[in-house]
Amino acid sequence: MNTSRICHIEIDDSNLAAATPEIEQERRVAVFDLLEDNSFALPARDGAAPEGPYRLALAIRTRRLVFDISSEAGEKVGEFHLSLGPFRQVVKDYFQICESYFSAIKTMPPSQIETIDMARRGIHNEGARVLAERLEGKAEIDTDTARRLFTLICVLHFGG
């Protein structure tokens, strides 16, 4: 069994504004997809890497994105904090394009919806790239995992 993965995810949104139905749906899909298929490993420190699978708790505390990582049994194996600064613009752009997309699907023809969706995916990929860069040396993830985690960061950012 692959141990370089997230087996459980918890999102601490207790201090955030209530999410819209669209945001809640994005969150549910991202969590489901992430748990179904992901690649997440912690690098070796002092000669040994904490073994997975991992339980991941995501939160925003004091304007920082917190990754709190435990073993499958619940033993804490790591925690790191990322500045939200590098994510602000891409999250803002992503929410703006999502608003356009949700409006478009109600009124526009499929060709225009497809164009907006391609732009939405491009911004989402940029957010995933930023996340992967920020996690370098802290956690090893693949592109699909970065994309799904970026969606969850957007959910947290929405209220934060």
For 78-124, how does the pLDDT look when each residue is reduced to its tens digit (9 = 90+)?
999 999 999 999 999 998 998 898 899 999 999 999 999 999 999 99
Q: Which two tokens stand for residue 140?
A: 């090893």
pLDDT of amino acid 42: 94
Q: Residue 32 falls within a domain, yes or no?
A: yes
Residue, of 27 and 146, whose pLDDT is higher: 146
Check whether 157 has a pLDDT greater than 80.
Answer: no
For 23, 38, 95, the CA distances from 67, given in Å and listed in that order, are 21, 16, 22
Q: Which range of residues forms the domain containing residue 90?
A: 6-159
**Total structural domains in the chain?**
1
Q: Residue 1 falls within a domain, yes or no?
A: no
Confidence class of residue 47 from pLDDT cuts 50, 70 and 90? confident
Q: Residue 19 falls within a domain, yes or no?
A: yes
**21: preceding bond cis by omega (within 30 degrees):** no
Cross-strand partners of 139: none
Q: Residue 70 falls within a domain, yes or no?
A: yes
Percent of the chain with pLDDT over 90: 66
